[in-house]
Structure 1
Amino acid sequence: MVVSIGPRCPAAHPEDPAPCVGPVVVTVLDASGASADGCAIHGARLLASLDGGRVHGLPGAPREVAISVFTAAAGIRPFCWVDGPRTEPSQLSDNENREHRGR
């Protein structure tokens, strides 16, 4: 089900119900170089859902925004708005996978 909650940043997935938080401050790139600009929350959620993604702060954004988004993405599961059990490494956050490898 797609929830329409008004205009959102280009990085917001159509099925992600989270509203934008703040202005568009980052560009998220996938492994092939395709990109989407986004607010910090959707930038992090998009980055968490990509394999080999990168993030860059936009001109005029706070200097540390890309690092903040990168750090936040590490703790977010891919497509975090999807319900259901998650046990496969591809369904877990980077932090969860790192924790499991350390056991």
Structure 2
Amino acid sequence: MDHPRCPAAHPQDPTPCGGPVAVSVLDATGAGAEGCEHHGARLLASLDRGRVYPLPDAPPSAAVRVFTAADTIRPFCWVDGPRAKSSQLSRAENRAREGR
């Protein structure tokens, strides 16, 4: 790999970082990783009850952008295959299925 990626990038996710490390994404137990907005959103989408916080030098609204993007991203979106179970769909897709 030519360029190191942020700590939030999953080893199987082939996408490059989308800017500087700007957010901290935490799981339900408080464990987490710092990452760029792109990988932060992909990580947050893959967590149940995850949270995102801006780092002190983050661009304005970085955490809001990550939270908003994660809503439409499927968990582990780099994994191919059919997706029919609610746990395999984005939060937005699940809301649409439920008519909300």
- Normalised-by-shorter TM-score class: over 0.9
Aligned residues: 100
Residue 25 (1) aligns with residue 25 (2) = no
Amino acid at match of 2:84: T
| CA displacement, residues 22-55 of structure 1 (integer Å, 9 cap, x when unaligned) | 1000000000000100000000000000000000
* TM-score scaled by length of structure 1: 0.93
Aligned positions of 1:1-103 closer than 5 A: 4=1, 6-102=3-99
Give me the whole-angstrom Cα distance separating, in 2, the residues matched to 1:36 and 1:90: 22
The runs of 4+ residues in structure 1 deviating greater than 6 Å are none
**2:7 counterpart SS class:** coil
Q: Sequence identity, in percent?
A: 68
Q: Which runs of 5+ in 2 are unaligned?
A: none
Output the aligned Cα RMSD: 1.1
Alpha-carbon contact 1:5-1:19 (below 8 Å) kept? no
Runs of 5+ in structure 1 lacking a partner?
none
Contact persistence 1:28–1:56 (CA under 8 A): yes
